[in-house]
Structure 1
Amino acid sequence: MWSMKTNNIIAALLTAAWLIVGSNYIGNSLIPPVKTIQSNNQEPSVPVKSAKNKKIPEPVLPLSVRLASASPDKGKKVAKKCVACHSFVKGGKNKVGPNLYNIIGQNKGQSIGYNYSSALKKVGGTWDFSSMEGFLKKPKSYLPGTKMSFAGLKKPNDRAAVILYLRNLSENPVELPK
């Protein structure tokens, strides 16, 4: 048979289990669990996002307004992302991408000595302020089939600054839109 010590341990465990179950039963009878409370005026369990938490995007000003307030110096800083693939000096060499000196007002896909994608060769027209903004925003969306792998500039003011910087890279800069 079991020793007295073993009997005492088993009795202690049974007593502890009985106390836990009994306390739980008494507690549930005095204070019902939350699950059983039903009320039509109950607060929703999922937090509702208030209007204060929602980030409302600022309206994008027209390009002409953004260009008027843009800084070519800021554009030069933002354009540092582009120096790995483009040069910006008169007579500069083409890299992975073409030299961007005097690009505003230039025919699309026709820079001397650079092999453009067929998509850019076919699109035609000139690089004006509007088309440059569309291209800088998201090149692959603006011109599917382009070789440019850059994801784009998300901030409208950054795009305006870069466009103004590119405009100024010319002996005869194109007139700003009104």
Structure 2
Amino acid sequence: RWRERRLGFHPPRPMLRPTVGSGLIISWAGMRGIVTLAAALALPATFPFRDLIVLTAFSVVLGTLALQGLTLGPLLRALDLRDDDPVGHEVTAARERALRAGLAGFEHDRSPVAEAVRQEFIAHLGSRDGNPQEGEARRSLHRDIHRHALHAARQAVLAMRASDEIGDDAFHQMEEELEKGE
């Protein structure tokens, strides 16, 4: 086993066993009636009562979508399923350790650039700690502000290009820099 890891071979982890609750959710949220509707629509136009069959199939699809769509949330709450995403938890732990190691890597540097990077790392760590909904809201706000700032920067560069303040080469270089910022 150690030889496999040393040579870079990482066998896949065994899959989690499905639970009764997860099976129930999958079957409740699954496809309903679309095959019936497709079969009804595939009937020849001269087939007797084709319109009634299509209407019935369509009604079944709409009815099951409405019924299951409205009851899926309460069913999820009643079953009280937990997040069984081990890879997601591992990625979160790895990201946090990497950020903390990154902070430790330049902890003695007090330059303005190091302080800016330190604040960015601390902000990323802070958005991962505490309340998950609050962290997600903070990350979403950060993404929105970042996207808005990049859009404004891109518009300024486009205006400079349109007024011939900068040439094509400078414009393309700025485009690349802005794309790296995304």
Query: Which bracket does the TM-score occupy, shorter chain normalised?
Result: under 0.3
TM-score under structure 2 length normalisation: 0.23
Could you say which structure has the higher helix fraction?
Answer: 2
Larger Rg: 1
TM-score normalized by structure 1?
0.23
* Higher RCO (C-alpha 8 Å, min separation 6): 1
